[in-house]
Amino acid sequence: MTDMLTNRDSPGDEHQPGDGNSNVADGQVRASLAPLPTVVSLLMEALGVRRGSPAAWYGPVRTALEPEDLALLRPLLRGGVTLFIPDCLVPEPEGFTAGFGEQLEQVASASVDDLLVDLAAHDLLDTAWSATARAPRRWLSAYAACLGRAWTGTRALWHRARPLLESEVDRVGSALARGTLDLLLQDVSPRAHLVDGRWFLDRNPGPLTSAPRMVLSPMICGPRGLLVADGDDVVHGLAYPLPGARQLSDRRINAADGDSLHALIGEPRAELLRRLDRAVSAGSLAESMLYAPSAITYHLLSLERAGLVHRERNGRHVLVHRTPRGTALLNLYDS
């Protein structure tokens, strides 16, 4: 499990759409409601790894921790940045839902051999993880106890978010049924996007593909939170920020209609598609929608990556066309 802010070179913007196929396009994905990724993400923020969560989310976690927890988790941190978390510390949920107690038991009873093999595979046995390697069973027990304390600071937030979490699962299911899951996932986080069935992850060299039965787990965290279970250039699991989670700071929670085009690609992009019955300049779109040119460019880039629009320069202007796929998507959701 990797927190996607690594010390490897960033791919930047030079990636072009790949020619590989992804199981995402074939619908070989399952969604799961499991609180452990949220607990881990907020725990990291409580220890100083900033992912954009409000202090009201991770503050109670920090309050619940004991002084020894910081020393215990120091191997996971380097200069305030999470680099690597062994898979056995954030096990994939086995079913559609998983209670925290069930997942905590999985962690507490994790195989010591699996932990050591994972550390060795990433050349971490001679790093800050060496203390863990010397007494792995004792470390796992202490880690499970730390997670238990973090859960006491997370439980109320998780239960409050239940309507949004269930709405997100409905959104994933609707996209699966309509064959549009790749559109839902293409901008799942500012640190990851999907292009032609390949994942491009922040500071991760080269594209990755999706494993059969990849697990999607929405988590309550800031927009830069992302946990990726990957290996051999394949993504096995993805814990990503819950869309609309900021509503949790409001008094009323409005669960999105998971069967709408707005829910799939976002309101600005849905409106852009609807305005493209004919070719329009990007500048005209920005003016008519009251958006800054940079904001329109950002949304158009996302739509272009998804194959929904095509941009071409015409003299001093950039003309935007809706592609056949974009028109088909509108017919699918707006009919």
**pLDDT means over runs of 10, the chain (335 residues):** 42 35 60 94 91 94 93 73 80 85 93 92 86 92 96 95 91 87 84 81 79 89 90 87 85 67 87 92 90 90 90 87 93 82
Predicted confidence at residue 107, as pLDDT, reads 94
Number of domains in the chain: 2
Q: Are residues 193 and 65 in the same domain?
A: yes
Give the residue numbers spanning the domain of 128.
2-247
Number of Cβ within a 10 Å radius of residue 245: 25
Query: Which bin fits 3, alpha (ψ -120 to 50), beta or left (φ > 0)?
Result: beta
Q: What are phi and psi of 290, to 5 degrees?
A: 60, 40
Q: Are residues 214 and 283 in the same domain?
A: no
Report if residue 256 sits inside a domain.
no
Q: Are residues 163 and 57 in the same domain?
A: yes
Through-space distance between the first and last CA atoms of the chain, rounded to whole angstroms:
41
Q: Are residues 188 and 266 in the same domain?
A: no
Q: Kindly give the pairing relationship between strand 317-322 and strand 81-82.
A: unpaired
Q: Are residues 70 and 40 in the same domain?
A: yes
Structural tokens at position 197: 């069935």
Calpha distance 32→92 (Å, rounded): 9
10: helix, coil or strand?
Answer: coil
Structural tokens at position 297: 């460019």
Asked if residues 1 and 64 have their Cβ atoms less than 8 Å apart, the reply is: no
Q: Are residues 72 and 183 in the same domain?
A: yes
Report if residue 299 sits inside a domain.
yes
Report if residue 62 sits inside a domain.
yes
Q: Are residues 211 and 270 in the same domain?
A: no
Predicted confidence at residue 7, as pLDDT, reads 27
Q: Kindly tell me the sign of the dihedral angle through the C-alpha atoms of 210, 93, 132, 41.
A: positive
Predicted confidence at residue 29, as pLDDT, reads 83
Calpha distance 188→142 (Å, rounded): 33
Q: Are residues 100 and 143 in the same domain?
A: yes
Q: Which residues of 66-96 are buried (b: 16+ CB within 10 A; e: fewer)?
A: eeebeebbebbbeeeebbbbbbbbbbbbeee
Chain centroid offset of residue 12 CA? 19
Predicted confidence at residue 11, as pLDDT, reads 34
Predicted confidence at residue 13, as pLDDT, reads 36
Asked if residues 235 and 210 have their Cβ atoms less than 8 Å apart, the reply is: yes
